[in-house]
Amino acid sequence: MAAIVDLDVNTAEMLLAALGRDSVVLPSMDALRRHLETQFAEDAVVLGPNVDLSSALGLAGSMRVTRPSLAVILVRRRVDTSVLADAMRAGIFEVVEERDIAALTAAVRRASELARALRETVGGGVSEGASTTRGTLVTVFSAKGGCGKTTVATNLAAALADGGRREVCLVDLDLAFGDVAIVLQLFPAHTIADAVPLAGSLDAQALTSLLTPHSPGLTTLVAPIEPGHAESIPATLVTTILDLLKQQFDYVVVDTPPAFDDHVLAAFDQSDMVALMATLDIPALKNLKLTLETLDLLNYPRDRWRIVLNRSDSKVGLALSEVEKTLKVPISLQVPSSRDVPASINRGVPIVLDDPRHPVSQSIKAFAEQQVATQSGSAGGGDILPELRTDRRGLLRRKAKTP
């Protein structure tokens, strides 16, 4: 249930129709405060576009201290960076555009789920020394472009979500040329670049407002629209974002650029599993072998590696047994070739959702259930020696100079 406030009756009725008749419309902020004094089961407050911004920020700031389980959701006719930054500093749970009804209903649903989790935590009493449940993070990487990283990452995320059975966040970490938004035909109001102004105070509520929902259980954090924004996003912010997402989602799947940059290394540090991709051609396999050697150099634990061979049934004169012998690592996932895959991409629907019985879908879903879903969340890079973490770029440069 949500409490709705807007000074315009027609707008209030529109918001009520979107959220359902179990919500309640209140005529003013004073009426809302009186309502909240007696209705302690309220999970969310929706403040419409006709509510004064300063009043909305004031309410959010007070509720953040006195009633942290209550989510304040702000509806604006237009969402810009200035409004978003002010809202996040005040503790607004999410800011959505007036016309984006789907985003509004998703925000209220997430607020309700968060409030329920907080009540269960407080009511059940977490015993001292008990471990905090954290989601599993899977990074999909290839040092060579064109291997199908984004296709595998999007389909793996959809397979793990399993129609809403799990909560999954797909992160596009290809900050200059990411394709997750276009592959899923999303029209995001926010991207990861919008987290930069909030870097010093980014929390779970602020980060949630930057996410774009796709399908039941599957949410995305997309790459910046402009390639130049990539340079403004520090690796430390990526670490913070991924850590927050692991606290909120069952699984986090990270799509990456074909480069060992600082953002990718930050993702590796947080990863419980790294899916290393290649295709059946000599350049891709050469790059994969170099990737394995580099990960060894950087002390990333081998038990987190999973080799993914895309278009594995290509008749190009290379046997899978020879590939495994050369790499000295078993192949965990073989994705067959199919013209249906690019067709599903053009439709903006992952093939695991478009055709669940397709051989490609079956292979990815089997990997999701048998390899990924069996992993328990951990602290990511805990096995990496601190001295290697602090000088990873230097190690890579020295490796490159070694004859």
Q: Are both 168 and 307 inside the same structural domain?
A: yes
How far apart are alpha carbons 314 and 281 in whole angstroms? 9
Residue 79 has a pLDDT of: 86
64 inside domain: yes
Angle between helices 392-401 and 262-270 (to 10 degrees): 120
Kindly write down the DSSP assignment for every residue of 204-249, as one continuous string.
HHHHHTT-EEEETTEEEEPPPSSGGGGGGS-HHHHHHHHHHHHHH-
- Which residues does the chain have with pLDDT short of 70? 1, 21, 117-133, 316-317, 375-403
CB 71 within 8 A of CB 205: yes
Residue 381 has a pLDDT of: 46
129 inside domain: no
Query: Residue 9 is inside which H or E element, if any?
Result: helix 9-19
Answer with the one of 97, 124, 151 that is the final residue of a domain: 124
Quick one: which of 156, 153, 171, 136 has its CA closest to 241?
Answer: 171
Q: Are both 97 and 200 inside the same structural domain?
A: no
How far apart are alpha carbons 224 and 191 in whole angstroms? 5
130 inside domain: no
Q: Are both 201 and 293 inside the same structural domain?
A: yes
Q: Are both 116 and 140 inside the same structural domain?
A: no
Q: Are both 350 and 205 inside the same structural domain?
A: yes
Q: Tell me how far apart the terminal alpha carbons of the chain are, to the nearest angstrom.
A: 66
131 inside domain: no
Beta strand 44-47 with 2-5 is parallel
**If you compute the radius of gyration of the chain from its CA atoms, what whole number of angstroms results?**
23
Q: Are both 380 and 311 inside the same structural domain?
A: yes
Answer with the one of 124, 159, 188 that is the final residue of a domain: 124
What are the Cα distances from residue 278, in Å, to 146, 149, 284, 367, 372?
9, 9, 5, 16, 19
What pTM value is reported for the model? 0.66
Residue 6 structural domain: 2-124
CB 182 within 8 A of CB 90: no
Q: Are both 24 and 107 inside the same structural domain?
A: yes
Q: Are both 117 and 184 inside the same structural domain?
A: no
Quick one: which of 248, 159, 250, 160 has its CA closest to 210?
Answer: 248
Q: Are both 39 and 80 inside the same structural domain?
A: yes
Residue 129 has a pLDDT of: 38
Residue 255 has a pLDDT of: 96
How far apart are alpha carbons 379 and 366 in whole angstroms? 25
How far apart are alpha carbons 303 and 226 in whole angstroms? 37
Residue 118 has a pLDDT of: 64
353 inside domain: yes
List, as own/partner pairs, every contact residues 184-187 make where C-beta atoms lie below 8 angstroms and the sequence separation is at least 24, other chains included.
184/154, 184/214, 184/220, 184/348, 184/350, 185/348, 186/212, 186/214, 186/220, 186/222
Q: Are both 161 and 83 inside the same structural domain?
A: no
Residue 161 has a pLDDT of: 93
Q: What is the CATH number of the domain that holds 157?
A: 3.40.50.300
Answer with the one of 74, 98, 124 that is the final residue of a domain: 124
Per the DSSP assignment, residues forming a β-bridge with 306 are 275
Quick one: which of 149, 131, 129 has its CA closest to 140?
Answer: 149
DSSP 8-state assignment for residue 371: I
Q: Are both 110 and 141 inside the same structural domain?
A: no
Q: What is the CATH number of the domain that holds 8?
A: 3.40.50.2300
How many structural domains are present in the chain?
2
